[in-house]
């Protein structure tokens, strides 16, 4: 079977700092993959590129294919990317719901990518779409809050609404960017359960970035670890051991601190000298 997500030679540079180096990744249909790594290792950047929310470098930027269709090549988004996104559900760390709209309305926004543009623009959702949205809400256990404003919900509830939005969207691939990083343990567990259920029962492909390795080991069979913008490990979560994790997080953290300090110091003294002269 062909890969659902295929990333080849992805390079991304922010200003003068390169975030992703010649990154390659392939995800098969129905997989649930954890993307782990220290902060700044490039996991969120990679995920944003998959949904075409960010563009890779113009020269030698590589290419991304999702569901057999090109999302971007050499820093240029596919002209049809807005329609492609309908198949790619995206869960954000900060939920990104529209606060002043109702929960139901937020879930209905998931239909926008699949309905005629004029009808979506006027916000005229059909009763079939409303039913689908209610079913999605029911699945995440929030049907009774459908008419409340999104802003009145707790963080964990908001994240479940965001998942309902992706369900209503009927996305084939779900990308979740730190979905539980701002949640309490109980909400985090619920959100991960729902994502795992969507993967198991509906056979959707799920890629989730996680800070907490224990969650990765519990819910995902495969883990991809990034370090400094490169794939550091790609394999079964069973084979992750404390020694490896220490290498992935601890050492990297220290090194980055040291480096940042060293890089800053000469520049600071150069600045001071320039000021003294002026």
Partner 1 sequence: MTTLTTAPLADEASKRSWTRLFGWGLLLAVLAWSWRGAEMDPLALIRDSGNMATFAGDFFPPDFSNWELYLKEMIVTVQIALWSTLLAIVCAIPLGILCAENIVPWWVYQPVRRLMDACRSINEMVFAMLFVVAVGLGPFAGVLALFISTTGVLAKLFAEAVEAIDPGPVEGVRATGASALQEVIFGVVPQVLPLWISYSLYRFESNVRSATVVGMVGAGGVGVILWEAIRGFQFAQTCALLIVIILVVTVIDVLSQRLRKQFI
Closer to partner 1 by Cβ: residue 161 or 194: 161
121 binds partner 1 (CB under 8 A): yes
Q: Within 61-120, which residues bind partner 1 (CB under 8 A)?
A: 82-90, 92, 94-101, 109-114, 117, 120
Select 246 or 269, whichever has its Cβ closest to partner 1. Answer: 269
Buried residues in 96-134 as b, exposed as e (16+ CB within 10 A): ebeeebbbbbbbbbbbbbebeeeebeeeebeeebbebbb
Structure tokens belonging to residue 59: 């020269």
208-267 binders of partner 1 (CB under 8 A): none
Cβ at position 168, least distance to partner 1 in Å? 9
Q: Which two tokens stand for residue 236?
A: 């079964």
x-or-dash string of contact with partner 1, 165-184, rule CB under 8 A: x---x---------------
Q: Which residue in the set 24, 236, 257, 272 belongs to the binding site for partner 1 (CB under 8 A)?
A: 272
Write out the E strands in 54-179: 63-66, 69-73, 76-77, 88-91, 173-177
Q: What is the DSSP string of 229-260?
A: TEEEEEEEGGG--HHHHIIIIIIHHHHHHHHH
Q: Which residues bind partner 1 (CB under 8 A)?
A: 51, 53, 82-90, 92, 94-101, 109-114, 117, 120-121, 123, 162, 165, 169, 268-269, 272-273, 275-276
């Amino acid at each position: 079977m062909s890969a659902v997500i295929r990333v080849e030679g992805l390079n991304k540079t922010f200003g003068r700092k390169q975030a992703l180096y010649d990154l390659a990744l392939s995800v098969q249909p129905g997989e649930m993959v954890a993307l782990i790594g220290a902060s700044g290792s490039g996991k969120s950047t990679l995920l944003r590129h998959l949904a075409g929310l960010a563009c890779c470098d113009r020269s030698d930027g590589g290419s991304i294919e999702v569901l057999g269709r090109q999302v971007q090549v050499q820093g240029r988004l596919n002209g049809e990317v807005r329609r492609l996104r309908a198949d790619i559900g995206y869960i954000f760390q900060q939920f990104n719901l529209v606060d002043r709209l109702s929960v139901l309305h937020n879930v209905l926004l998931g239909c926008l990518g699949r309905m005629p543009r004029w009808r979506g623009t006027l916000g005229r959702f059909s009763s079939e779409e409303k039913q689908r949205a209610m079913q999605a809400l029911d699945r995440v256990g929030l049907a009774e809050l459908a008419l409340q404003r999104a802003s009145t919900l707790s963080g964990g509830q908001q994240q479940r609404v965001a998942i309902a939005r992706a369900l209503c969207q009927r996305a084939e691939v779900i990308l979740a960017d730190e979905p539980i990083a701002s949640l309490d343990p109980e909400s985090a567990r619920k959100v991960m359960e729902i994502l795992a259920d969507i993967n198991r029962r509906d056979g959707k492909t799920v890629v989730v970035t996680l800070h907490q390795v224990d969650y990765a080991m519990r819910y995902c069979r495969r883990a991809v670890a990034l370090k400094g913008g490169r794939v550091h490990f790609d394999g079964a979560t069973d084979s992750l051991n404390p020694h490896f994790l220490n290498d992935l997080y601890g050492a990297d953290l220290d090194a980055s601190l040291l480096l940042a300090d060293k890089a800053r110091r000469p520049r600071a003294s150069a600045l001071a000298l320039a000021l003294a002269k002026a």
